[in-house]
């Protein structure tokens, strides 16, 4: 897969922001705050921590903008965010133990890139299936889970993920392949998941869930007086 490049309009925004134009940086925040928050909340399984990481990510990005010279700005931002997430997890000294079965699934980033279905029955089935997918996803190793989430949920390409986690393309492809295989194994072994998959297929042929969750607030930079 070809290396992702920054589009000209975004490159212009970055250059303006690097030259001190706050409005340009805030346009970048608007473009990526939902994505950064969605990645953080999947890794941390805690909305408050995810909000804090998102805010800290943009603060750090703003203060180190002149260090960016890569091909993918969103990968650069996501690397800052994932590093902060792992700092938080290390500070907690444990993996988050909270089960998404106990939460309203709508509170989490959804699994499909399609809008949620209008049919209440289908929406209920997909919420239940999304919860089972999250439980299975949480049983992957950390590196596999991050690779699968970035690639299959949020649409990053191999090169961007390699940039985010500082690994080779071969390693990234292996993690995604192994992670997907483990997910299939877990879901096939889960009777409830199989029943939900069958029910969704019967009800409608193609819907999964959305990869992004609107961030509950904006993290735009403001000039201090």
Q: What is the pLDDT of residues 136-185, one digit of tens each?
A: 888 889 899 999 999 988 999 999 999 999 999 999 999 999 999 998 88
Does residue 210 fall inside a structural domain?
no
Q: What is the pLDDT of residues 106-132, one digit of tens each?
A: 344 433 334 455 566 666 766 766 677
Count of other CB atoms within 10 angstroms of residue 174:
15
Q: Residue 103 belongs to a domain with what CATH number? A: 1.10.1740.10
What pTM, to 2 d.p., does this model score?
0.71
Does residue 211 fall inside a structural domain?
no
Token digits of residue 2: 């070809």
Token digits of residue 73: 């700005």
Q: How far apart are CA 194 and CA 187, in angstroms?
A: 7
Q: What is the pLDDT of residues 32-73, one digit of tens each?
A: 999 999 999 988 888 999 999 999 999 999 999 999 987 799
pLDDT band at 31 (very low <50, low <70, confident <90, very high): very high
Task: Write down the pLDDT at residue 194.
Answer: 59
Task: Write down the pLDDT at residue 163.
Answer: 93
- Which of the residue ranges 31-35, 88-92, 102-106, 121-125 has the most confident prediction, judged by mean pLDDT? 31-35
pLDDT band at 89 (very low <50, low <70, confident <90, very high): confident
Does residue 224 fall inside a structural domain?
no
Higher pLDDT, 48 or 202: 48
Query: Which residue range is the domain that position 99 belongs to?
Result: 8-203
Q: Which residues contact 223 (CB under 8 A, 6 or more apart)?
A: 22
Does residue 30 fall inside a structural domain?
yes
Task: Write down the pLDDT at residue 197.
Answer: 53
Does residue 215 fall inside a structural domain?
no
Does residue 73 fall inside a structural domain?
yes
Q: What is the arithmetic mean of pLDDT over 199-214?
A: 47
Contact present, 196 and 126 (Cβ < 8 Å): no
DSSP letters, the chain, are -PPP---HHHHHHHHHHHTT-HHHHHHHHHHHHHHHHHHHHHHH--HHHHHHHHHHHHHHHHHTGGG--SS-HHHHHHHHHHHHHHHHHHHHTS-----GGGS-GGGSPPS-SSPPPS-HHHHHHHHHHHHHHHHHHTTS-HHHHHHHIIIIIT---HHHHHHHHT--HHHHHHHHHHHHHHHHHHHHH-HHHHHHHHHHHHH-SS----S----SS--------
Give the CB-side neighbour count of residue 194, counting CA atoms within 13 A: 6
Does residue 208 fall inside a structural domain?
no
Does residue 212 fall inside a structural domain?
no
Q: How many domains are there within the chain?
A: 1
**What torsion do the CA atoms of 42, 34, 159, 131 make, to the nearest 10 degrees?**
30
Task: Write down the pLDDT at residue 123.
Answer: 65
């Amino acid at each position: 897969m070809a290396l992702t490049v920054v589009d000209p309009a975004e490159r212009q925004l970055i250059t303006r922001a690097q030259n001190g134009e706050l409005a340009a940086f805030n346009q970048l925040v608007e473009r990526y705050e939902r994505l950064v928050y969605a990645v953080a909340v999947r890794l941390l399984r805690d909305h408050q921590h995810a909000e804090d990481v998102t805010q800290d990510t943009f603060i750090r990005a703003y203060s180190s903008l002149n260090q960016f010279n890569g091909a993918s700005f969103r990968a650069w931002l996501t690397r800052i965010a994932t590093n902060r997430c792992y700092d938080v997890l290390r500070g907690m000294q444990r993996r988050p133990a909270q089960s998404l079965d106990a939460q309203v699934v709508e509170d989490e980033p959804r699994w499909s890139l399609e809008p949620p279905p209008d049919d209440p029955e289908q929406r209920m089935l997909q919420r239940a299936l999304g919860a089972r997918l999250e439980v299975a996803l949480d049983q992957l190793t950390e590196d596999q889970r991050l690779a699968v989430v970035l690639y299959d949920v949020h649409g990053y390409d191999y090169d961007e993920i390699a940039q985010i986690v500082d690994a080779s393309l071969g390693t990234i492809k292996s993690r995604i392949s192994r992670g997907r295989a483990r997910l299939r194994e877990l879901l096939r072994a889960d009777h409830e998941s199989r029943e939900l998959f069958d029910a969704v297929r019967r009800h409608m042929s193609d819907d999964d869930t959305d990869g992004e969750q609107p961030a509950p607030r904006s993290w735009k930079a403001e000039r201090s007086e």
